[in-house]
Chain A
Amino acid sequence: TAAEPWPENAALYQQLREEQILLSDNASSLAVQAFLQMCNLPIRVVCRANAEYMSPSGKLPFIHVGNQVVSELGPIVQFVKAKGHSLSDGLDEVQKAEMKAYMELVNNMLLTAELYLQWCDDVTAEEITHPRYGSPYPWPLNRILSYQKQWEVKRKMKAIGWAGKTLEQVLEDVDQCCQALSQRLGTQPYFFNKQPTELDALVFGHLFTILTTQLITDELSEKVKNYSNLTAFCRRIEQQYFLGHDKDSSATVAARSAKRSLLR
């Protein structure tokens, strides 16, 4: 129930960090972790190969709190709010509208671009995504599962009109999105000045993951690096909310391992 306080054993589930998790899921997971850190709510990260199937919506990450299971950042933010914790209460109505709009922008452009790169770019799909996605399972299950997932993602891309895009166009979209985020952030420490909100968590999750994940080429991370205030933003949040806490903190580990993990 909403009235119960946040338990000590709350857990966040994602796929296996070293071998299995993909860029997009890592970004989403990091966003939730950042959000919970910002709310000062303890969470431990549990890695499971079948995390995707355990999730109530099929999407990751999900958190297990008390006897409730909630997946994806949006619902998690609402769940946390029902328990009395919120980062955006101090915002006025117009700011809240803006915050929601920018979160949609990140989902609409960044997340979709990540999915596109992973599943629709043939080289990346073949060399990175397929091997990673099915890695916990024996052949031929590993191939079957990853091809099935690829088909699903491609179908969705077609429905929203991204199937016809080329990689250059997708990268251009990423650049446009980063430019908008950079302009909105300006010289402030966080998007709504002094205090971070769920938007900061979301942006951090995606940008940090893009910056620290090694793919076939550096084109994607270069897009983010073009905007120095965005890289500074990521560093700031990493330092404030992830480093200097326990050494096992997932972002640090993720950062260290991501650099070497994505090449077989």
Chain B
Amino acid sequence: LQAYAKFSGAPLTVNTINNSWRALKGDVPVLISEDIVISQPAKILNFLRKQKYNADYELSAKQGADTLAYIALLEEKLLPALLHTFWVETENYCSVTKPWFASRIPFPLSLYLPGKVYREALNRILLTRGGPPLYSFAEVEAQIHRDAKECLNLLSKRLGTSRFFFGHTPTTLDAFVFGFLAPIYKVSFPRVQLQEHVKQLPNLCRFCDDILTCYFGLTVSGHTPAGQDTADANLQKLTQLVNKESNLIEKMDDNLRKSPQHPPRKLTTLKLAAGGEQSSPLNLLSP
């Protein structure tokens, strides 16, 4: 989402929602614009487009159709493995995802929410990909990783030597692919099957690094240049990336609109200590 906003030049202030009991419903990421609250990435994208922040303006009808198709491919073939890597793979979950996620949300939500997301990730994987003729979870895991690798290969072939998927300017599809790819590529997990595979596809790595440097101001080595705002953006981006992947819980945002009497949310922008002390997620960036 952040990538899309940057691509289309929308002035988007990213706020980390700290006191979000709404997170119980998993309504992050949330876009707030003049009192209109919107959750769910697809709706947020539509909203941005209607507001004339359209990164797809130059696309032909066919390219628009292609976008939809490739997004379906990502959701079907890549997302299960992504969910697995972040939430289901035990070592990864315990040593990276859970502490990181839990540190971003307030107690006592931090006790409850990671487990909930884990259960839903597992559920989703089992219900959509489990079942005969795969009879053990190990077989399901193997299959989803195979599918993910095939999907990555397809993306690599489609990207070829171009800078972005539809030429010289980035579009919705680039944002989606980046959103799925960057966490796999950049976050250091103990178990890194998928990451190894991505590294073998140099054009995909280049694609991610390009976007990170041009649009997020991160140098490829993962060290942030001096500057509070850039550091803020980095942390927020990483948080948002994880949040986006964990946004399995798609509840209606009608609930939000119908209940204006919600206590005002405490929105805080992340601030790092002035000494530029890096907090843990940044250290997790692999060079």
Residues on A lying within 8 angstroms of B by beta carbon are 56-58, 93-94, 96-98, 100-102, 104-105, 107-109, 155-156, 159-161, 164, 176-177, 179-181, 183-184, 186
1/0 contact string of B32-50 vs chain A (CB within 8 Å): 0000000000000000000
Given contacts A101-B72, A108-B75, A164-B250, contact A184 B131 (CB under 8 A): no
Interface assignment of B155: CB less than 8 Å from any CB of chain A: yes
Interface assignment of B192: CB less than 8 Å from any CB of chain A: no
Interface assignment of B252: CB less than 8 Å from any CB of chain A: yes
Complex alpha-carbon distance, A58 and B214, angstroms: 48
Complex alpha-carbon distance, A130 and B107, angstroms: 47
Complex alpha-carbon distance, A184 and B65, angstroms: 6
Task: List, in ascending order, chain B residues with CB within 8 A of A161's CB.
Answer: 248-250
Complex alpha-carbon distance, A183 and B61, angstroms: 6
Interchain residue pairs with CB less than 8 A apart (13):
A56-B133, A57-B131, A96-B157, A97-B157, A104-B75, A105-B69, A107-B72, A108-B75, A156-B127, A156-B128, A160-B128, A177-B68, A183-B62
Complex alpha-carbon distance, A177 and B71, angstroms: 12
Report which of B69, B123, B131, B249 forms a contact with A101, defined as CB distance below 8 A: B69
CB pair B251–A98 under 8 Å, yes or no, is no
Closest beta carbon of chain B to A170's beta carbon, Å: 14
Closest beta carbon of chain A to B150's beta carbon, Å: 8
Interface assignment of B124: CB less than 8 Å from any CB of chain A: yes
Task: List, in ascending order, chain B residues with CB within 8 A of A108's CB.
Answer: 72, 75-76
Closest beta carbon of chain B to A153's beta carbon, Å: 10
Report which of B120, B160, B252 forms a contact with A159, defined as CB distance below 8 A: B120
Task: List, in ascending order, chain A residues with CB within 8 A of B75's CB.
Answer: 104, 108
Complex alpha-carbon distance, A109 and B42, angstroms: 14
Report which of A93, A109, A160, A186 forms a contact with B62, defined as CB distance below 8 A: A186
Given contacts A104-B76, A107-B76, A156-B128, contact A180 B133 (CB under 8 A): no
Given contacts A97-B157, A101-B73, contact A180 B64 (CB under 8 A): yes
Complex alpha-carbon distance, A94 and B120, angstroms: 34
Given contacts A107-B76, A159-B120, contact A93 B157 (CB under 8 A): yes
Complex alpha-carbon distance, A185 and B133, angstroms: 34
Interface assignment of B70: CB less than 8 Å from any CB of chain A: yes
